[in-house]
Structure 1
Amino acid sequence: MTGRFPACRRLLGAGAKQLELITPFQLYFNPELIFKHYQVWRLITNFLFFGPVGFNFLFNMIFLYRYCRMLEEGSFRGRTADFVFVFLFGGLLMTIFGLFVNLVFLGQAFTIMLVYVWSRRNPYVRMNFFGLLNFQAPFLPWVLMGFSLLLGNSIIVDLLGIAVGHIYYFLEDVFPNQPGGIRILRTPAILKVIFDSPEADPNYNPLPEERPGGFAWGEGQRLGG
């Protein structure tokens, strides 16, 4: 069991930052401190802070773990390098956008990005949110954005995650299948050397992720099931 979901565990391990061993002022995204004072760690640490421990923190942790795990088990099974590339691509885009918007922590946006990619790759899964709403998976990011608004959070973070998730989904799943389309996103060979095991079957055809559930607000079932 210790070898399962390595990418998710590395990301969630950052939750130790919540123990106040490090203050948020040492983590937040600040272009001036990054480029003028060479505090380059902020490029990474701003993704690792989700606020003080509470409902919002637990909500983000649960969704981050769950959808990260389902992507890693499903459409990225046996393709660890490709999954790491999603992290790098999404993080890079969010950092670039972060230069133009007033956001200091991008972890929630990253979670929404993963949710968006999963939801678009599983369009026929029906979701149930807190037993109140029934909808199909592609609407999940928008439902989460509405819920975030009810909690008093800025929807700019959710919109950023949705935008970056859509860019990845379009470049990876939509544009290459269009007439005259080409594959723009290619995982660097160095990542494949580092992360992909020699035993991985390149012809493996993963089954779609069956369930986003396990929690009352996120259970779903495939249409016709």
Structure 2
Amino acid sequence: MSSEIMDAYWAAPAMARTLATAIVVTSIAVHAGLVSYTWFYFTEDTLLRLPPQIWRLATNFFLSGPKLGIVMDPYFAYQYLKQLETNNPKFQRKEDVLWYLMTVGGLIILLNRAFLGGAFFLDGLILALAYTAHQDQRVVKANFFFFTVPAQSIPYCMLIASLLMNPAAIPLQITGLVAAHLHDFLSRLWPEFGGGRNILSTPGFVSYLVQTPRVLQRGYGTAIRPTGAATSGSSTGASTGPVLPDSWKTRGSGQRLGGE
């Protein structure tokens, strides 16, 4: 049984699996008092320290709310990121999804630090993922709790749910919606309909990050991949994979609910 679970885990899309796992592990550790949240939050001064604590650009998206948030946040983060990673024509390559996370995450941080403050921004990222995953599904229906709604309305249903259950989450969620809108405008709408240039095209260094290294370390030796061999981010011996939940709030500004 445990073997089947692990096989399913490693078979899940890599980025969705990794994000969900990071949220679960970080949230349980922090809420159980095993580690301090001060290792994960983001503020500008953390980048000015020596050495710069650049990991906080990512870890501020790893802390969910307590209790049900530990289940819901990673679940929805996984579900929406999985759709982008496996079933979205806008993202043809793994590096395109990674660059999306980097740019949208950066926009969420900038918007919050400029206008709202706060130090943890997972709710904004989840709503951004929900918007991007559903924005082109005009004739598709999706489930939102006990209701069946047009898929494109899922992000707005989340905002309504937050209005009823946790209004403090809404400002942070809106920054995620704005970031996702801005990413779509700069990367698709402006180049296609405005005649402009895609200033958010995936840079080469991101492609390099997701490529399989030419030298592969094994338990029984070293294998040298031929120079001309094609490489891809999903050929690392372990498959890709997903798992887990979505949101509410116990810190910063915001939290949210929703699901498809």
TM-score range, shorter chain: 0.7 to 0.9
| Residue 211 of structure 1: aligned partner | none
* 1:40 matches 2:54: yes
| Residue 90 of structure 1: aligned partner | 104
| Residue 150 of structure 1: aligned partner | 164
Q: Give the partner amino acid of 1:189.
A: G
| Residue 23 of structure 1: aligned partner | 36
SS in 2 for 1:18: helix
| Residue 21 of structure 2: aligned partner | 13
Equivalent residue runs for 1:1-225 within 5 Å = 2-14=10-22, 15-20=24-29, 21-36=34-49, 38-52=52-66, 54-75=67-88, 79-100=93-114, 101-132=116-147, 134-152=148-166, 153-195=168-210, 198=230, 218=259
Q: Give the partner amino acid of 2:26.
A: K
For the pair shown, the structure with the greater C-alpha radius of gyration is: 2
Moved segments of 4+, more than 4 Å: none
Shift of 1:25: 2.6
Aligned residue pairs: how many? Answer: 201
Aligned sequence identity (%): 25
Higher mean alpha-carbon deviation, 1-10 vs 135-144, is at 1-10
Deviations, residues 43-96 of structure 1 (Å, cap 9, x unaligned): 2211110122x2233222211111111111112665001010001111211222
User: Relative to 1, partners in 2 of residues 1:179 and 1:78: Cα closer, same or farther, differing over 3 Å?
Assistant: closer
* Structure 2 segments unaligned to the other structure (5+ residues): 1-7, 213-229, 233-257
For 2:231 and 2:59, locate their aligned partners in 1 and report how far apart those are by CA, in whole Å. 33
CA RMSD of aligned residues (A): 2.3
Deviations, residues 12-65 of structure 1 (Å, cap 9, x unaligned): 22121123332223222222344256443322211110122x223322221111
For 1:44 and 1:179, locate their aligned partners in 2 and report how far apart those are by CA, in whole Å. 32
User: Relative to 1, partners in 2 of residues 1:19 and 1:180: Cα closer, same or farther, differing over 3 Å?
Assistant: closer
SS in 1 for 2:142: strand
Shift of 1:168: 1.0
SS in 1 for 2:135: helix
SS in 2 for 1:29: coil
Q: Tell me if the contact between 1:34 and 1:43 (Cα under 8 Å) persists in the aligned partners.
A: no
SS in 2 for 1:145: helix
Shift of 1:139: 1.5
User: Relative to 1, partners in 2 of residues 1:79 and 1:114: Cα closer, same or farther, differing over 3 Å?
Assistant: same
* Structure 1 segments unaligned to the other structure (5+ residues): 201-216, 220-225
SS in 2 for 1:32: helix
User: Relative to 1, partners in 2 of residues 1:193 and 1:36: Cα closer, same or farther, differing over 3 Å?
Assistant: closer
User: Relative to 1, partners in 2 of residues 1:180 and 1:87: Cα closer, same or farther, differing over 3 Å?
Assistant: same
For 1:22 and 1:95, locate their aligned partners in 2 and report how far apart those are by CA, in whole Å. 23
User: Relative to 1, partners in 2 of residues 1:124 and 1:199: Cα closer, same or farther, differing over 3 Å?
Assistant: farther
